[in-house]
Amino acid sequence: MLRSFGLLAVIAAMLSIPSMAPAAAAEPAAQPAEVDCNKCHAALTVRIKVVHAAVPMGCPSCHSGIAEALKVPHKKTNTITKGLSAEQPELCYGCHDKAKFTKKTVHAAVGMGCTGCHNPHASNNEKLLVAAVPDLCFNCHDKAEFSRKNVHAAVQMGCLTCHNPHSSDDPGLLAKVQYNVCFDCHDGVSKQPHAIAGFSQKGHPIGLPKKERKGKKETLADVKDPKREGKLFSCASCHNPHSSDNVKLFRYPAKKAMELCSNCHKY
């Protein structure tokens, strides 16, 4: 039987007929070895307190423009810095909800790129910040404005106590409507006459929207600040919300509340 099978194979080869002998199994295609970026870039994440969740997802998830990572220096397949998959902040919107960064008032820092405030790999500060708050904020905001003789306690608690660092539907990137930000700590102000008690049962206005009539319809209208063009009237009209050289954080020179009146009211 074996001799007959061998004879058939010889005849088939002579006649260009496919051999009936079993074919050898094909070798599997070689798979490219996965590149371990940590061999060169371990310092970006090792022994650091907070690591960006994107790092365990793999470097190509953000750096898809890096070609032939085993070759140094790396070659790029695009023109974006560091071979990123997209420019900032669009790159970050792949994981982070864009709606939180595109409200009515957007922090200028967002347009400058997320890595201006956040380390994209790891940091010893919360939220991957490149420095702790408020020192981080002083990179752009004049520290002198926050360190006058009398400093608002909220500043010492951190800028994020009152402000949203990315975007807000309220002026000044406030975390909520202006007067409600203040009422969180100064709730007594909303429950009793303020500033001119004894002259008015209602006290001085503190920026709550007032009712106005348009035709037969009554609506709420924001009160404008008479001294600061383009600003709404609020607690910040009389008090500096950050720091002041005057008592009670008064915005204008005064030793007592009544001395503030002439700044807006002419006699």
The predicted structure's pLDDT at residue 216: 74
CA distances from 226 to 171, 209, 233, 242, 264 (A): 17, 15, 8, 20, 7
Q: Outline where 113-241 has alpha helix (H).
A: 153-157, 178-183
Residue 19 has pLDDT above 90, yes or no: no
191-221 pLDDT, tens digit each: 888 887 666 667 788 888 887 777 777 777 7
d(CA 189, CA 186): 6
Q: Is the peptide bond before 18 cis (omega within 30 degrees of 0)?
A: no
Question: What is the band of 81 on the pLDDT scale with cuts at 50, 70, 90?
Answer: very high
pTM for this entry: 0.78
Burial readout 135-155 (b: 16 or more C-beta within 10 A, e: otherwise): ebbbeeeeeeebeeeeebebb
Question: What is the band of 256 on the pLDDT scale with cuts at 50, 70, 90?
Answer: confident
152-181 pLDDT, tens digit each: 999 989 999 999 999 999 999 999 999 899
d(CA 158, CA 134): 6
Burial readout 83-116 (b: 16 or more C-beta within 10 A, e: otherwise): bbbeebbebbbeeeeeeebeeeeebebbeebbbe
Find the mean pLDDT for residues 229-251: 94
